[in-house]
A and B are shown apart, each in its own frame.
Chain A
């Protein structure tokens, strides 16, 4: 029985988080999220992890940021990545990674809810786009429950061992998300 409390906050990764990140590096889902290709070389992935540890939304107009998703006990439960952030469009793409053993419906919902609200309340975005594999049906249900709309299905977007895989595009506008701060 999983009694780990669900995530409650996002924070920037520190050097002390490297053991957690290295542990997660074995998971192809995280490699896919960071590099967009689960077959990418491990050396390239290590370089990317190091840049995450020293990056985040540090520079005022950076368009990429990575955050650890943490619960009230300080347990790291996953990672959220904002990419393709456009300050002109006030929009961003984001990916959320939760290790499989922690991915209960409550944890997934809390992780996505935190990330969506961070996009609106902290980054003052107008829109957040989430791209999810067609196979991740639990995530689809979570996003719809949080007010996102399924806007597009990109047929055969990625190639995996078992052939082409669809990618589902979900969009959340600020007005879709109840209780976010006024701009």
Chain B
């Protein structure tokens, strides 16, 4: 558990599943929900519990972001992009999208950046962003991410196709 000025970050436990389940809203597609095949997934609470309890950590390193009173604001996930690749993928998800513009989100980002570049020595951190997430995109760009381009109509959700933007962050620009 690490305490910042506005938030507390800790590793996720299996009993966080019920609290996090609200982030998997099928009516509100977000990058956080994308699985390995780039399909939006909506696990049940039991499935999410099993994933968080998995010793192999298939979901990646999963961190819970709380405010100083212990209210869960969202989460951050970091994982290797594929196998032993020299770069990682970071995901940030907050229940309230307006939080992306607050110091709470900035402190979450600073924590993940340190993990990625100072501790894991990744060469690059990538992120993805759906066309339904303007606040998330603004948050990533504000922290030095640069767009690699937009893949058109890649994700199907809620009866529509959505574009997926790829972004990357190098240590020298972070």
Q: A63-B37, A84-B38, A89-B39 are in contact. Are A156 and B124 (CB under 8 A)?
A: yes
Which residue of B is nearest A166, CB measured?
B148
B11 CB within 8 Å of chain A: no
Residues of A within 8 A of B102 (CB): none
Residues of B within 8 A of A36 (CB): 82-83
Interface string of B90-101 (1 = CB under 8 A from A): 000000000000
B80 CB within 8 Å of chain A: no
Which residue of A is nearest B149, CB measured?
A152
B111 CB within 8 Å of chain A: no
Which residue of A is nearest B37, CB measured?
A86
Residues of A within 8 A of B156 (CB): 88-90, 126
B114 CB within 8 Å of chain A: no
Bound complex: CA of A67 vs CA of B40, how far in Å? 28
B155 CB within 8 Å of chain A: yes
A177 CB within 8 Å of chain B: no
Whether A151 lies near B149 (C-beta < 8 A) is yes
Bound complex: CA of A37 vs CA of B38, how far in Å? 21
B161 CB within 8 Å of chain A: yes
Q: A156-B123, A156-B124 are in contact. Are A151 and B151 (CB under 8 A)?
A: yes
Instruction: Provide 22 A-B residue pairs closer than 8 Å at the C-beta atoms, listed in order of the A residue.
Output: A36-B82, A36-B83, A84-B37, A84-B38, A85-B37, A86-B38, A88-B40, A89-B38, A89-B155, A89-B161, A127-B153, A151-B149, A151-B150, A151-B151, A152-B166, A153-B148, A154-B148, A155-B124, A155-B170, A169-B151, A169-B166, A173-B153
**7 tightest A-B contacts by CB?**
A152-B149, A89-B156, A152-B148, A86-B37, A88-B39, A151-B149, A86-B39
- Chain A residues within CB distance 8 Å of chain B: 36-37, 63, 84-86, 88-91, 126-127, 129, 149-156, 159, 164, 169, 171, 173
